[in-house]
């Protein structure tokens, strides 16, 4: 098995993708709006990925945070709120905000599980600062670490109850970035003491099953390399200071914050200590390059994968979707 998560080009696998994925045996797959037509189509697509891999628990990811980061959209699927909605309720009633987030993400998880998606790239545990790039903005729960940690924990638990693994992101914190890492490399000049604020929610959720790095340079830790490619940040900060021992994947290596070929970036990320590379855009030439350069997944990577997938082995807890939405909406109305 190759330690990489690949994207898929369309609503169904092409013959070329079938042949390539069968030979490459990637650890998992990630879906985007281009892959989400309707319920029957998505279930057929995810079934085909499971059959091709021969693994019923093969990770099939999506970015379904709610708000503007949503791949499954109306009218086929209901809309879900962005993270800052729960943050605003937390100002008034913290316990109600936590309950609203848990209900929201359990319902969201049930929606994903229905079509065969078993991993959601949420929650954001980024502690946002006033001038943070709009690429983060309303996606985050807020600027106070305890609030972010509590709402993040509720999100992970809600997704688990819905039958889906959550991915905490963007480790060790994207809340000070002033530019969008999709377009350029952010550099954070905060000192080590200030960065303790950023890592607090991740440390509080160090037992999360999966995590995602950020393509941000933290000058206090490693002025030469973004976190994804930094052995010091991965090993001393994420694995050490934060204490995270879940499956660690990169953010999309195609983002412009990183330089080099896809294969070079992928091998650098693994060398830095990441378990898995995320390559989202289903470009066959890039996937072939990456697959040809990567070694097989390490025993540590496979053990972390097994632990993560085991957290949802029982599937969804028996709960009515409409009741969860009604509970969430009643709580959010308090704000």
Known catalytic residues are 182, 251
Report if residue 196 sits inside a domain: yes
CB 279 within 8 A of CB 6: yes
- What is the CATH classification number for the domain harbouring 6? 3.20.20.300
Give me the pLDDT at residue 117, please. Answer: 98
Report if residue 51 sits inside a domain: no
- At 51, list the tokens: 């059959």
Of the candidates 71, 86, 78, which has an alpha carbon nearest to the alpha carbon of residue 124?
A: 86
The span from the CA of 28 to the CA of 6, in Å, is 7
The span from the CA of 139 to the CA of 63, in Å, is 12
Q: Are residues 169 and 305 in the same domain?
A: yes
Q: Are residues 172 and 304 in the same domain?
A: yes
Any idea which residue has 């509080």 for tokens? Answer: 204
- Residue pLDDT, tens place only, 70-121: 999 999 999 999 999 999 999 999 999 999 999 999 999 999 999 999 999 9
Report if residue 36 sits inside a domain: no
| Four-CA torsion 314, 304, 252, 54, nearest 10 degrees | -60
Q: Are residues 76 and 172 in the same domain?
A: no
Give me the pLDDT at residue 183, please. Answer: 87
Total number of domains constituting the chain: 2
> pTM of the entire structure?
0.97
Q: For residue 95, what are the domain limits?
A: 57-117+130-163+320-335
The span from the CA of 123 to the CA of 205, in Å, is 11
Give me the pLDDT at residue 87, please. Answer: 96
Q: Are residues 204 and 259 in the same domain?
A: yes
Listed as ranges, residues in the chain with pLDDT below 50 are none
Give me the pLDDT at residue 335, please. Answer: 85
Q: Are residues 188 and 288 in the same domain?
A: yes
Q: Are residues 179 and 266 in the same domain?
A: yes
Give me the pLDDT at residue 174, please. Answer: 93
Give me the pLDDT at residue 149, please. Answer: 98
């Amino acid at each position: 098995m190759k330690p990489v998560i690949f994207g898929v080009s369309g609503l169904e696998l092409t013959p070329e993708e079938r042949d390539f994925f069968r030979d490459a045996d990637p650890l998992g797959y990630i879906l985007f709006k281009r892959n989400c037509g309707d319920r029957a189509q998505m279930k057929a697509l995810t079934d085909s990925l499971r059959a091709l891999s021969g693994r019923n628990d093969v990770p099939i990811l999506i970015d379904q945070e709610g708000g503007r980061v949503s791949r499954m959209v109306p009218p086929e699927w209901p809309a879900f709120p962005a993270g800052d909605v729960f943050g605003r309720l937390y100002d008034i009633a913290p316990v109600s905000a936590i309950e609203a987030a848990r209900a929201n993400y359990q319902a969201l998880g049930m929606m994903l599980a229905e079509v065969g998606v078993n991993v959601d790239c949420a929650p954001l545990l980024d502690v946002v600062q006033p001038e943070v790039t709009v690429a983060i903005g309303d996606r985050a729960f807020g600027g106070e670490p305890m609030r972010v940690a509590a709402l993040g924990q509720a999100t992970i638990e809600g997704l688990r109850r819905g039958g889906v693994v959550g991915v905490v992101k963007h480790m060790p914190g994207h809340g000070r970035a002033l530019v969008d890492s999709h377009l350029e490399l952010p550099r954070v000049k905060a000192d080590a003491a200030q960065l303790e604020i950023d890592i607090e929610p991740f440390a509080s959720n160090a037992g999360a099953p999966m995590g995602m790095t950020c393509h941000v340079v933290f000058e206090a830790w490693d002025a030469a390399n973004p976190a994804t490619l930094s052995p010091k940040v991965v090993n001393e900060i994420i694995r050490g200071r934060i204490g995270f021992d879940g499956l660690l994947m990169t953010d999309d290596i195609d983002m412009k914050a990183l330089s080099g070929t896809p294969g070079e970036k992928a091998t650098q990320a693994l060398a830095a200590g990441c378990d898995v590379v995320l390559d989202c855009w289903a470009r066959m030439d890039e996937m072939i390059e990456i697959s040809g350069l990567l070694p097989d997944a390490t025993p540590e990577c496979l053990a972390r994968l097994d632990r993560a997938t085991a957290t949802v082995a029982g599937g969804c807890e028996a709960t009515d979707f409409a009741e969860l939405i009604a509970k969430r909406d009643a709580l959010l109305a308090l704000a």
